[in-house]
Amino acid sequence: MRVIVAAAGTAGHINPALAIANKIKKENPSSEILFLGTDRGLENDLVPRAGYELRTIEAYGLSKKISLDSLKKNIKTLNGVIQARKIVKEFSPDIVIGTGGYICGAAILAANKYKIPTILHESNAWPGKAVKMLSKKVSTILVSFEDAKARIPKANNVVLTGTPTKTKNLNLTKEQKEEVIKRLGLKPGKPVVLIFGGSQGAKAINDNVVKIINEKLNKNYQIMWAPGPIQYDIVKKEINNISKLEDVKIVPYIYNMEEVMNACDLIISRSGAMTITEISIVGKPAIFIPLPNVSNNHQVYNAKVLENVGAAKILLNENLTKEALNSLVEGITKNPKQMQEMAENAKKIAVTNVEDKIYEEIKKLVK
């Protein structure tokens, strides 16, 4: 099987692409897989690191704004479509798969030119503009959440498969959970609240968590917090006596995130598609503070997937204060029965055997 995988920009686009590529290689070791990306995103690090060849083209979002910069980018994007056609013709794939980023438009259009089957994977509950624009041109669209299906009414074929992730539910025993908590430098027996904002951190969340810690509002719960490598040094300067904190552990980045997510009692985070997927898999109650000013407010719609089944609370960025956040945390952590119900509700939306389902859809299209 010869496959082109188009993915660019963020880890949320690239990691699912790598998971799909790895599944193809596992099932069909003789497969040849070529990645298509830009020269700007994380694909330039993650794809070669995973052992795959990466070819790059120029691709930006088409802008309707009238400016010299937007005109230049639009011209480069149109040129990128020509570049993609050349690559597709030379490589002659059996299928082209896109998992996100501006690159997908060029890849799908190039595949259409040569009548090659195509698949797009959409991780968000509210599909992006590119997916909607390409919906009639793609053979199959794979979605992570049931909610997304109705939002792509013109698509040829939409299949719920979930999003590939390495995160698993470890089903920790009470003793195993306590051991993880001790290794984190916290105490068993008191609720642990895991807080993170992604690899870049989330300043609005960080600012309010600093206030909660400095004012010792977390008397009834413990905090495991990764403010992000970039913002960690800023946080260190703002926290009073950071080395002597009780019931608080602050690190730049959590490398054993799967283990920590499984051991904690409540999660506070932004609501990217991958985060929603991982929280549903481990089965944890959550408080989501969606990233504002993103396309179609897709993080709000992602968060609603878990809120609608009673697994999460949403606190909008514009309403975020130390009092509002602490009140939500207190309300959940003081009620073990509610925490358990929210955790069980989160598991209801988890999709199992994701890679198998995706591979089945690929096989249907590859003759």
The amino acid sitting at 236 is: K
Q: Give 17-39 as a DSSP string.
A: HHHHHHHHHHH-TT-EEEEEE-S
The closest of 225, 241, 230, 213 to 184, measured between CA atoms, is: 225
Q: What is the pLDDT averaged over residues 44-52?
A: 95
Residue 118 lies in a domain: yes
pLDDT of residue 23: 97
Decide: helix, strand or coil at residue 30.
coil
Residue 144 sits in the same domain as residue 290? no
- 94: pLDDT strictly greater than 70: yes
Residue 215 sits in the same domain as residue 126? no
For residue 33, report the phi and psi dihedrals to the nearest 5 degrees: -125, 125
Sheet holding 222-226, edge to edge: 248-250, 222-226, 192-196, 266-269, 286-288, 312-314
- 77: pLDDT strictly greater than 70: no
The number of residues in the chain equals 367
Could you tell me if 362 and 142 are in contact, meaning their C-beta atoms sit under 8 angstroms apart?
no
Return the CATH number at 62: 3.40.50.2000
The closest of 280, 330, 281 to 308, measured between CA atoms, is: 280
Residue 12 sits in the same domain as residue 153? yes
* Encoded tokens for 189: 């027996």
Cα dist from 40 to 8, 34, 45, 249, 283, whole Å: 8, 18, 10, 34, 35
pLDDT-derived band of residue 69, with 50, 70 and 90 as boundaries?
A: low
CA distance 135 to 132: 5
Residue 168 lies in a domain: no
Residue 144 sits in the same domain as residue 190? no
Residue 167 lies in a domain: no
The closest of 248, 209, 247, 244 to 227, measured between CA atoms, is: 209
State the residue range of the domain holding 101. Answer: 2-162+352-365
The amino acid sitting at 325 is: L
Residue 81 sits in the same domain as residue 127? yes
Residue 185 sits in the same domain as residue 283? yes
Residue 15 lies in a domain: yes
**What is the pLDDT of the chain when averaged over all its residues?**
92
DSSP designation for 290 = P
For residue 299, report the phi and psi dihedrals to the nearest 5 degrees: -70, -30
If one counts the domains in the chain, the total is 2
User: Among the listed ranges 105-114, 133-142, 232-241, which one has the minimum average pLDDT value?
Assistant: 232-241
Element (H, E) at 76: helix 68-91
Residue 273 lies in a domain: yes
* Encoded tokens for 199: 């690899």
- 294 or 176: which carries more pLDDT confidence? 176
115 CB burial (10 A radius; 0-12, 13-18, 19+): exposed
Residue 308 lies in a domain: yes
pLDDT tens per residue across span 256-284:
999 999 999 999 999 999 999 999 999 99
pLDDT of residue 62: 54
Distant-in-sequence, close-in-space partners of 292: CB < 8 Å, separation ≥ 6: 316, 317, 318
pLDDT of residue 243: 74
Residue 146 sits in the same domain as residue 283? no
CA distance 260 to 275: 14
pLDDT of residue 65: 66
Decide: helix, strand or coil at residue 31.
coil
Q: What is the pLDDT averaged over residues 54-69?
A: 73
- 64: pLDDT strictly greater than 60: no
The closest of 352, 353, 181, 351 to 262, measured between CA atoms, is: 181
pLDDT of residue 240: 78
Residue 295 sits in the same domain as residue 325? yes
User: What share of the chain in percent tops pLDDT 90?
Assistant: 80
pLDDT tens per residue across span 139-198:
999 999 999 999 999 999 999 999 999 899 999 999 999 999 999 999 999 999 999 986
Residue 138 sits in the same domain as residue 211? no
pLDDT-derived band of residue 130, with 50, 70 and 90 as boundaries?
A: confident
- 229: pLDDT strictly greater than 90: no
